[in-house]
Structure 1
Amino acid sequence: MDHAYIRTLIEALEASTLTELEFSQNGSTLRLAKSLTKSTTQSLAASQPQDSAPAASVPNAPHAIAAAPSAAPATQTLKASMYGVVHLQASPGAPAYVTAGQRIQAGQTLCVIEAMKIFNEVQADEDLLIEAILVQSGEEVEAGQALFRFQRSGADV
């Protein structure tokens, strides 16, 4: 595939309301995925039915937790913003970014999602208590799949 044509596809995806684009030519396939902005993610979340616990949205630039405001239960889930392979540690044998029961601070890396050989850090944008890690390192995750269960620092923990 021609680099100029790929750039044209990227620009077309950015200008459209589509979130994914897949193109095949001469046995090669190119899959482009656009990350949702915080406002787009929040409007999509508002239009979808909610679980008993409010879902956290994960904007892509930078990847961070944007917990939906709520006076309901303090327990929330962090969901993957994209399809990819989740890494819970920087390298094999390295300590995990976070562990269950750990209090974390805003800006701390929770995990990394690898998609198309690009490593996207998922970071907290506020202080949290990680209740549970719901995936295994190296596991393929789908966009919207729950990765962590947490409580916001403002809740009684």
Structure 2
Amino acid sequence: MDMDRIRQIIDWFADAGLASFELAEGDDRIRLERPEGSGPVAVAPGAGPVASPVVPAAPVVPADPSETRIDAPLYGVCYLAPSPDAPAFITVGQAVKAGDTLCLVEAMKVLNAITAPRDGTVTEIAAPDGVEVEQGQHLVTLR
């Protein structure tokens, strides 16, 4: 199942108002679950890590109103690049647009893209590559 098909299913699920949904197509399997009052939280294909739908980052208003602090929306392992031999998604001083991928957080073999909530410049990368992060832990700061 390709990512476009997965995104279509997730978009449909977001509007359907269902608590959970499971689909099998050949050897591929996808399961979406929604805890009360929230959007889909899990995409669990049959095996191996896959890219998941975008997980909105949890921006926290820091003391400096010109900064936006991006915290981990869930527990997992933080990756600053799409693969070990690829360049990092961001560097300090880099300009980013709203929706740009800042890092990935892998939870239960699902890679969750953490995206910029607004346009800005990266002023801090607080989470090292390949380390476990807690839900709410500081990942990136934008100015």
| TM-score tier after normalising by the smaller chain length | 0.5 to 0.7
Unaligned runs of 5+ in 1: 1-13, 16-31, 39-59, 152-157
Residue of 105, 108, 129 corresponding to 1:116: 108
Secondary structure (helix, strand or coil) at the match of 1:82 reads coil
Distance in 1 of aligned mates of 2:35 and 2:56: 16
- Aligned position for 2:95: 103
Distance 1:33 1:81, change over 3 A: farther
Aligned-residue offset at 1:65:
3.9
RMSD of aligned alpha carbons: 3.2
Residues 1:137 and 2:129 aligned together? yes
Distance in 2 of aligned mates of 1:75 and 1:126: 11
Q: Tell me: higher relative CO, structure 1 or 2? Use CA pairs within 8 A at least 6 residues apart.
A: 2
Distance in 2 of aligned mates of 1:121 and 1:140: 15
Distance 1:36 1:150, change over 3 A: farther
Unaligned runs of 5+ in 2: 1-18, 21-32, 40-51
After superposition, the C-alpha distances for 1:74-131 in whole angstroms (9 at most, x for unaligned) are 1231100000000000111210000111110122111110001011111123212110
Contact 1:65/1:78 (8 A) holds in 2 = yes
Greater C-alpha radius of gyration: 1
Residue of 128, 133, 136 corresponding to 2:120: 128
Identical positions, percent: 35
Distance in 2 of aligned mates of 1:69 and 1:88: 23
User: What TM-score, normalized by structure 2, do the two folds share?
Assistant: 0.59
Contact 1:35/1:81 (8 A) holds in 2 = no
Which has the larger share of helix? 1
Distance in 2 of aligned mates of 1:81 and 1:114: 11
The runs of at least 4 consecutive aligned structure 1 residues that moved more than 3 Å come to 32-38, 65-70
Aligned-residue offset at 1:68:
6.1
